[in-house]
Amino acid sequence: MVDILFYVFAAVAIGGALGVVMAKSPVGSLLFMVTTLASVAGTYVLLEAHFLAAIQIIVYAGAIMVLFLFVIMLLNLGHDYHRDLKGGAYAVVSFAIVGAMAGMLQRQLRGSGITDAVASGGRAIDAAIAEHGAIGAIAEPLYTTYVVAFEITGILLLVAIVGALVLAKRNVA
């Protein structure tokens, strides 16, 4: 049953990702992205990573998508929209990117002892969960080892939104 659900969630995620690229309106693209994020959360549940599934729904499908929706509405992207790429170019570009990523992943997996790395990583994760609990095992490295990358990501999101607003509102005056 888990295998069947995994394939269903994977198909919905791939379909939603294609919908993001092929949607004619930005709001439609945003709704496809919410579908993709929800299916990824379902995959997390199948992997018994319930905390990550909850964070996926609350943070990404909730807060980030609402933020994107506000930016889309603020920029008023709903009218006079002209596509840059015509017809099936979206699909061709999407499949080319997915093929390149799959090829790189296959070379990486084939070139390294991935089974040994997964086994040793699994033991380290089990030890961290036993010591700190599930949330502590995620929070401890996030706020100690990776705190700079975490903060830089937040700053980049803020700069991207401010930059989009400045570029969009430049021609109003």
With a cut of 70, say whether residue 105 has pLDDT above it. no
Do 103 and 30 share a structural domain?
A: no
Do 67 and 53 share a structural domain?
A: yes
* 62-104: pLDDT as tens digits: 777 777 777 777 776 555 555 554 556 666 766 777 777 777 7
Do 130 and 104 share a structural domain?
A: no
pLDDT at position 138: 78
Total tally of structural domains belonging to the chain: 3
Do 118 and 106 share a structural domain?
A: no
Report if pTM > 0.75: no
CA–CA dist 124, 158 (Å, integer): 34
Do 93 and 35 share a structural domain?
A: no
CATH number of the domain that residue 13 is part of: 1.20.120.1200
Do 74 and 6 share a structural domain?
A: yes
Structure tokens at 149: 């990358």
Do 35 and 20 share a structural domain?
A: yes
Last residue of a domain, one of 96, 111, 126: 111
Higher pLDDT residue, 144 or 76? 144
pLDDT at position 114: 47
Q: Which domain holds residue 50?
A: 1-80
Last residue of a domain, one of 111, 128, 156: 111
Do 70 and 11 share a structural domain?
A: yes
Do 98 and 28 share a structural domain?
A: no
CA–CA dist 91, 97 (Å, integer): 10
For residue 9, report the phi and psi dihedrals to the nearest 5 degrees.
-65, -40
Do 27 and 92 share a structural domain?
A: no
Do 152 and 99 share a structural domain?
A: no
CA–CA dist 108, 65 (Å, integer): 32
Do 98 and 43 share a structural domain?
A: no
With a cut of 90, say whether residue 14 has pLDDT above it. yes
CA–CA dist 94, 78 (Å, integer): 23
